[in-house]
Chain A
Amino acid sequence: MIEFDNVTKQYDDGTVAIEDISFEVEEGTTTVLVGPSGCGKTTTMKLVNRLIEPTEGTVYFEGTDIEQKDEIELRRDVGYVIQEIGLFDHMTVRENVATVPKLKGWDDDRIRERVRELLELMDLPVEEYGDQHPTELSGGQRQRVGVARALAADPDVMLMDEPFGALDPITRAELQDEFLDIQAELDVTILFVTHSVEEALKMGDRIAIFDVGELVQYDTPQNVLENPKNDFVRDFIGQDRELKKLQVTPVRKVMYETNGERLPDVDPVAPSDTAQIALSRLLETDAGRLPVARDGEVVGVVEEADLRGTSDPTRGSI
């Protein structure tokens, strides 16, 4: 849906922010750009809504060179959450969220309905928060308004530049989870920037790992973890690679059928829980194995060897 074709960006002062980058963001997926500060993530993202023009190479949007597109139209069709949130403090929360629909000339009723719906979704009921100014909100609430504003005109593509940066870890994790839920319901292609590997692994269908100015590896989270392309990627992932693997693996993928055997009487895990949670539970209970249950009904079993990936091949995999 969005394709970077040998794109280079050199700023006027001579800084080469990105050099010869090629990758494609597939429709309906979340692609995360991750890398150290100053490696060119924001630059790459701004090429998509033409806040920056490439020095060399081409960016395609649904097969069309974006330079052929009207930049104002393009931007109104692409949701944008800027790195510093960039809320309009002189407007109310309601007016902030209504910005793009208004620019697009939606009628008032439709805008009102959409704003209500989005603020509801973001857990900021319009009756309570609609007429407040962003300065009256907490950091987490401001981030939510930023996301709601970007989603307002039903964009097909969202650019999110460290949307949950500058938040405490708990609020951050909460917003990530909420956003994953929301995203599952929306049919939207997302380009997401972060400098945190954990966030990248959690949010991304695909991850683009940047070193200064270059794209080092573009792959699924699993593949990045299993086959890091070089030492830079290995270092970037960190020492706890195995734990991170568990973090991106759902229990569903490693569990086995029960053969009616007796299962230990411990709290079950859900198929959608991460393998990391299963491991933690195993360490807690020393039961050796855990039931996996969906809606109270046992659907499988998981043991330590399954998490390690060395389980008995004769057992029935699901």
Chain B
Amino acid sequence: MVSAPPELALVPLLEIALAPLGIFEELPGAYDFITSNWSQFLHHLWTHIKLVLVSELLAILVAVPLGIAATRFPRAKPTIKGFGNTAQTIPTLAIIFLMLPVTGIGFVTAVAGLFVYALLPILTNTIAGIEDVEDGVVEAARGMGMTDTEVLRKIELPKAIPVIFAGIRTSSVIGVGTAYLAFFVGGGGLGTWVLQGIKLYNMEMAIAGAVPGALLAITLDSGFALLERYLGGDAQQSDDLVSA
């Protein structure tokens, strides 16, 4: 599985760093901060969710077909994998600043950065999921007269779904963490409170931004697990893959 990018560490690290300062004592204060700034909170949360979901959706739309293509055309595979790896090694901030002159400050630039970063886990897992389907099963399917498309649609993709979803879930959890950086390019989101809070030494504000992110990550992860079950996959299997 893909190792977590440095940005993901931001949220928990921040919390650990703040812990000695009395994060637990700050929790009620943070709660009050949220309730008294409720509409602002909803706005930041909603922006955060949009950032993650839009970039995630785009990443799925690009990475899954690319992953499939990599398994169909063995000669293109190194290029496609290289593309995914490169995307992963460019720091998110670098992508964002590269995008700035083109898309300007705001939501789109933030989504672009998150999108590039979300690609690799989905791409790698799509390729791995399809390639892991037992040769005997594919051979049986071909021997029974399935066309290549039928083999893909009826055998390989259904069998790869748990692995692909593990990639999507990993990538969306990473995305929740990375989206805290969207603030830097005017993308908004929960990062607004965290970074302003730090700057203003307002711990209540910072924590009011940080903790909902953790809850959001868990919620998204469960949401995708549900979606997977709805699609007929075995979410337990991808649970194991995600935690592996």
Contacts and interface: CB of A to CB of B under 8 A. Distances in A.
B147 A72 contact: yes
B143 A51 contact: yes
Interface string A77-108: 10010111111111000000001100100000
Contact of B143 (A73, A82, A87, A89): A82
Nearest to A161: B143
A51 B137 CA distance: 13
Nearest to B233: A90
B145 A82 contact: no
B165 to A, nearest CB: 14
Given A82-B136, A82-B139, A85-B136, A76 B144 contact: yes
A30 interface: no
A51 B145 CA distance: 10
Given A90-B158, A90-B159, A103-B150, A73 B137 contact: no
Range of interface residues on B (Cβ < 8 Å) = 10 to 19
A142 interface: no
A114 interface: no
A75 interface: yes
Interface string B113-138: 00000000000000000000010110
Contact of B145 (A76, A87, A90): A76
B133 to A, nearest CB: 10
A76 B143 CA distance: 8
Given A84-B136, A86-B136, A90-B159, A49 B150 contact: no
A262 to B, nearest CB: 59
Contacts of A88: 137, 140-141, 155
B136 A83 contact: yes
Contacts of A103: 144-146, 150
Nearest to B143: A80
Nearest to A73: B145
A85 B3 CA distance: 37
A76 B144 CA distance: 6
Interface string A41-58: 000001001010000000
Interface of A: 46, 49, 51, 72-77, 80, 82-90, 99-100, 103, 149, 159
23 contacts: A46-B143, A51-B139, A51-B142, A72-B145, A72-B147, A73-B145, A75-B142, A75-B144, A76-B145, A77-B145, A80-B144, A85-B136, A85-B140, A86-B134, A86-B136, A86-B140, A86-B141, A87-B137, A87-B140, A89-B159, A90-B158, A100-B144, A103-B146
Interface of B: 134, 136-137, 139-147, 150, 155, 158-159
